[in-house]
Homo-oligomer: A and B are copies of this chain.
Amino acid sequence: MMTIRRLDSRDADILIEGAQARAETIGVPMCIAVTDEAGQLIAFRRMDGGKVTSTTIAIDKAFTAAGARKATHEYGQASQPGAPAYGIASAIGGRLMVVGGGLPVMLDDEPLGGIGVSSGTPDQDRDVAQAGLDAFNAHLTRLSSG
């Protein structure tokens, strides 16, 4: 039997709120998704003005990052023509995302879940996802020093 740790609903809120605060700062309304370590959706928010087409993309970025324990932009590099993972972008019915904006949520080298952001440029999406991660890590630090 295994015992695992994963994000709970409150953690997902912290991730989304951290990401949303950054999205508001840069002025780009985003779709933001958080999954657990199994890639299953915990929470989702489409900010007013977030793109309809980004709903599934944000969810799938979080799914990819959590399930593969890898940032989606890393897949972007590994899946270029001639690179080892070329073609992976269309795997899992197109759910495996290789565009930046999906980050795994890790603790002690173990995955707790993933966050996925979409509606801006891939760099903006990644920046906003990182802000969610930063907020969550700050929360963990407060907990452990509390």
Contact = CB atoms under 8 A, between A and B. Distances in A.
Contact of A2 (B1, B8, B93, B97): B8
B6 A5 contact: no
Interface in A86-111: 86-94, 96-100, 107
Nearest to A88: B99
Nearest to A36: B38
B87 A89 contact: yes
Contacts of A93: 56, 93-94
Contacts of A4: 3-6
A46 interface: yes
A76 B84 CA distance: 8
A53 B97 contact: no
A76 to B, nearest CB: 6
Interface of A: 1-9, 11-12, 36, 38-48, 51-57, 60, 63-64, 66-69, 75-76, 79-82, 84-94, 96-100, 107, 112, 121-123
Question: 5 smallest A-B Cβ distances: which pairs?
Answer: A38-B38, A53-B67, A87-B89, A87-B98, A90-B90
